[in-house]
């Protein structure tokens, strides 16, 4: 079964503390998890308040389904980040074959 992964680099310009950063990251993770039934995790150590790296993973028997799922998740992540005053500055997806 193919496995897909999407990595998002997020900039949070208004974050003045770890609490500000955490609000954006947790909201993004929860909304993506519940909307798309994906595995979502924070991938960095939270040393910088105004940046975050989010990793998303999915598995399916169809590579084309995974590609569509990642595209929708990327679009949703950009909307969610914008709603919180943040921005997805980079994203990259990969589908690992069986």
Q: What percent of the chain has pLDDT over 70?
A: 100
First vs last C-alpha separation in the chain: 5
Here the tokens at position 77 are 């992540």
Quick one: pLDDT at residue 97? 81
pLDDT in tens, 12-57: 999 998 999 999 999 999 999 999 999 999 998 878 889 999 999 9
Give the dihedral of Cα atoms 31, 37, 38, 42; nearest 10 deg: 30
- Selected from 3.30.70.1120, 3.30.365.10, 3.20.20.80, 2.60.40.350, the CATH number assigned to the domain covering 3-96 reads 3.30.70.1120
Residue 91, classified by CB atoms within 10 Å of its CB into exposed (0-12), middle (13-18) or buried (19+), is middle
Q: Kindly report the CA angle at 80 between 30 and 90, in degrees rounded to 5?
A: 105
pTM confidence score: 0.90
């Amino acid at each position: 079964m193919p496995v897909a992964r999407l990595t998002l680099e997020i900039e949070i310009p208004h974050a003045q503390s770890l609490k500000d950063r955490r609000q954006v990251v947790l909201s993004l993770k929860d909304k993506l998890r519940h909307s798309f039934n994906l595995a979502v995790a924070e991938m960095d150590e939270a040393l910088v308040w105004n940046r975050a790296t989010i990793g998303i993973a999915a598995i399916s028997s169809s590579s084309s389904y995974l590609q569509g799922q990642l595209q929708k998740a990327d679009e949703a992540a950009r909307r969610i980040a914008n709603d919180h005053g943040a921005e997805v500055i980079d994203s990259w997806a990969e589908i690992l074959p069986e």
